[in-house]
Structure 1
Amino acid sequence: MNEEYDVIVLGTGLTECILSGIMSVNGKKVLHMDRNPYYGGESASITPLEDLYKRFKIPGAPPSSMGRGRDWNVDLIPKFLMANGQLVKMLLYTEVTRYLDFKVTEGSFVYKGGKIYKVPSTEAEALASSLMGLFEKRRFRKFLVYVANFDENDARTFEGVDPKKTAMREVYKKFDLGQDVIDFTGHALALYRTDDYLDQPCSETINRIKLYSESLARYGKSPYLYPLYGLGELPQGFARLSAIYGGTYMLNKPIEEIIVQNGKVIGVKSEGEIARCKQLICDPSYVKDRVEKVGQVIRVICILSHPIKNTNDANSCQLWSSWNQLNRNSSASVTCLYQKIWEQKARSLFPVHMMLQLTLRQPVMILKTSIRG
């Protein structure tokens, strides 16, 4: 503790671990601290199952029918990775993938009128989907072809659409798409939480749909990837990268004070000792006096004994519902996860870990002022 570092990082969430890993690789002397005894911060993977019961103050112990507690990895905030997205590219570029194993999820579904349908994301699926009528299928297929051929650097692919001025609502109108198609396209393909995007320039939405299609084409089954042992593996992977290049990690370390002199952070005090630094990066929860709450997120974790019905018994999937199905101003998503393992030729099934994430407003926190130094 009684040393000087180039950077001190507080909190082991994914963002903090990525930054500490990159800075260590670039020759910075990094001290990384967390008040928790585990990596991941608010998006950690909780294991064993007994720790999940303790965290949420559930009385008693898990029933024996749920198997061994250490066989469980329950993510507090599960989020799928887009197979061709920026995070996956970063994992490949930094070679953090050597510390991780991934699985491809088995599908993406949409909830409509009390029924569950597979999200059509290719021309073939659009023609075969029961989510749309015959003429709607043809119009949606033309829309997907247009999106696939769209190139911001080639005006010949615009077909009269100005990507920086034309609202996405006008693009949908151009292809005469109905409200149901607009709902699952915006929420299940472009992954928007609200319909605010409809009146914004169409370029970002088109690129989001292209990313979905490109990610789907990469592995075939689904556009989504997930770490085999939970999302908490990602920050740990970047922590290992930092440690290889000299980064110092301290878990279960209480933070007593962030020391500021003349408006500049000069160190962090913990257990009576002071570590000095030239720069501080931290999770917003370490500086509550400098953040403002602007919304909230409702999350529910349900442990099921079976896959979700009408998903072809998918081992893992994403299920979307648009805001107007729920009479709310934002969409909801259900993330369904479980794994199968083999032990001594006997099959052991991890029960389903399902999460409902309903975003009422976003983001949850924003920094009021930055910490300089």
Structure 2
Amino acid sequence: MTDQLEDTHFDVIVLGTGLTESIVAGALSRAGKKVLHLDSNMQYGSSWSVYALKPLLDWKEKVTNTDNVKDTVPAFTIAFDGNCKNSFQHVALTLGVNEASAGQDDGPLTEQEESLLSQVTEADRERYISPWQSTVDKDDGAYLGKLASLVTCLKASRQYSLDTCPKLLAARGQLVEDLIRSGVGRYLDFKSVDDMFVFDHGDHALKKVPGSKEDVFTNKSISLVDKRKLMKFLTFAMSDEKEEALLQDIDSQSYADYLEAKFKITGKLQSAVVHGISLSTSNVTAKEGLERTQAFLRSMGRFGRGSYLCAMYGGGSEIAQAFCRTCAVFGGIYILGQSLKSFLVDQESGVCRGVVTADGQEFTAGAIITGFDYLPSEWQPLESEVSWVSKAILVSAEPLSQFTQAGSDQAIGISVIPPKDDQDDLVVVQNQSSETSACPPGQYVTYFSTRSNIDVLKIAVQTMLSSTDQDHREDDPFLFHLVYQQCARSRQTVKDRVPGNLYVCSDPDASLDFEAALAEAKSIFTDCIQDDQVEFMPAPPDMDVDDIPTD
């Protein structure tokens, strides 16, 4: 950026447009604070970014670039590009074989190849196809099919909204309540997530989770005896007044053991409750499992049959933009694509006074809010303090057979793959389609996420691609899949390392919803305001209180 602002002092400077940062920016601006919101990227989202196909490929090249980052830099230097790169690891793109578009019997290889290449621009051939071609063997029988997949996706690049941090909203979660009350929800569109499944390793197939009374009664795979057990448990879980005898040992007993001991729920039915409804592993405490189960059941049926909502056009990034819009409406100033040089730190007091841009302009503020990618090396967490979340994005030209066999059209839903090993975690699978604007019509997007290592993730991807047919295990075709690990750094690890007036926002965690990000944003807002009388994101002046739903 070459233009410079005349006003250089603000109440608050926010660096990065991730979800937490953007919620805080919107809330502070709404509370009357003078906010400057900067992002060194040209798009919103930061660690929560959503990409069209070509920008996703550009991002993949950026984070896998092997150029060396300078080891020695001046104090408080913002090494943004290097930090962004270090926030991801094990990034790998795999193209599938699109035989339908390859035309493998229509002539010599060179003619078929040119026919495919003629469908994209010269710029796209040079930027995206030629680098890939240099790494493959054209004599490989799968070459044309993979080229066809790449061409198919490039042609429809702008129709993709691929989420690097896919999450859902609990229908009765606090974020939904705040979006409704504050009016920020008016900037967003949602779809109800009605389908939920748990993968049965024994049958190698997805099984519908019976989360409601209707599901229990209509599920033909559950015996009458098990239906009675499940109904007794669901009634208990939803009740505010619980029998004392059924609450014994909930702090010390695992959820799985508790369900077996108190309700005689075992086997596949137990997996549906523990892994599906509560999104827990078998060894989670009964108390935590019950709390998660109750939250799930209370959210069910509010906006649809299911308990979750999916934001159109990508979750965290889209919600972040809605809060940024609120910030701007109440006077916040936005500059995207603003490269930053360093933080301004008073050597005597240790207070962070502001930031210096790459073109030398200084911005100052009483409080600085930032994502991890802007922190200088001396404020970054130790390697031992960093955890990782393994993720994958899979795009296919038809529904995966795992979903169709389970009775889902794969338009929108959620599935859970339970761990085979007690040391591993769940793999959460989200399936979306053009109904959420995740991809072009006729295509499907499947997201994977787990706290487990990258190998567990890859097995999960392969599991969902494999057929349910025991006698014919040919894998489903796909256009491409991208696997990666994303940093999940907590602000608590650097709290004593940064200046007292600098508030760091944690990376996206491994949970399914946005509640942790919202809670952290509220905590930072409270610390910045230091006035209990100032409400967090009140209803806007133009909203009638009668318009706010109360159910």
Same fold (TM over 0.5): yes
Give the unaligned 5+ runs of structure 1.
Answer: 343-347
Tell me the equivalent position of 1:56.
60
Tell me the equivalent position of 1:209.
293
Question: What value does the CA root-mean-square deviation take over the aligned residues?
Answer: 2.6
Considering only CA atoms, is the larger Rg found in Structure 1 or Structure 2?
A: 2
1:336 is the counterpart of 2:431: yes
Residue aligned with 1:278, SS? strand
Q: Structure 1 residue 321: deviation in Å?
A: 1.1
1:35-62 Cα offsets, whole Å, 9 max, x none, are 1111111221112x22122222373294
Amino acid at match of 1:241: T
Tell me the equivalent position of 2:409.
313
1:184 is the counterpart of 2:309: no
1:38-88 Cα offsets, whole Å, 9 max, x none, are 1111221112x2212222237329414665322221111111111111111
Tell me the equivalent position of 2:324.
239
Tell me the equivalent position of 2:258.
171
Alignment of 1:91-110 (within 5 A): 91-110=179-198
Instruction: Provide the rounded CA distance (Å) in 2 between the counterparts of 1:185 and 1:317.
Output: 17
Q: Structure 1 residue 162: deviation in Å?
A: 5.2
Instruction: Provide the rounded CA distance (Å) in 2 between the counterparts of 1:158 and 1:219.
Output: 33
Q: Structure 1 residue 215: deviation in Å?
A: 1.8
Alignment CA distance shift 1:285-1:187 (3 Å): farther
Alignment CA distance shift 1:157-1:28 (3 Å): farther
Instruction: Provide the rounded CA distance (Å) in 1 between the counterparts of 2:419 and 2:222.
Output: 19
Alignment CA distance shift 1:256-1:184 (3 Å): farther
* Structure whose residues are more often strand by fraction: 1
Residue aligned with 2:179, SS? helix
Q: Could you tell me which of 386, 390, 393 is aligned with 1:301?
A: 393
Instruction: Provide the rounded CA distance (Å) in 1 between the counterparts of 2:308 and 2:410.
Output: 13
Alignment CA distance shift 1:244-1:157 (3 Å): farther
1:129 is the counterpart of 2:207: no
Tell me the equivalent position of 1:263.
350
Tell me the equivalent position of 1:345.
none
Counting aligned pairs with the same residue, the percent is 26
1:200-259 Cα offsets, whole Å, 9 max, x none, are x61x43232122122222133321211222222111000000000111111111221122
Tell me the equivalent position of 2:370.
282
Matched-pair contact (CA < 8 Å) for 2:191–2:436:
no
Q: Could you tell me which of 210, 232, 235 is aligned with 1:120?
A: 210
Give the unaligned 5+ runs of structure 2.
Answer: 62-92, 94-127, 131-149, 454-485, 502-551
1:143-188 Cα offsets, whole Å, 9 max, x none, are 1110111x2xx4x554541597464536312111114333332222
Alignment CA distance shift 1:116-1:237 (3 Å): same
Structure 1 stretches of 4+ with a deviation exceeding 6 A read none
1:328-370 Cα offsets, whole Å, 9 max, x none, are 521101111112499xxxxx61521111112128982123232
Alignment CA distance shift 1:139-1:165 (3 Å): same
Tell me the equivalent position of 1:161.
247
TM-score (norm 2): 0.60
Amino acid at match of 1:214: R
* Structure whose residues are more often helix by fraction: 2
How many matched pairs? 358
Tell me the equivalent position of 2:32.
27
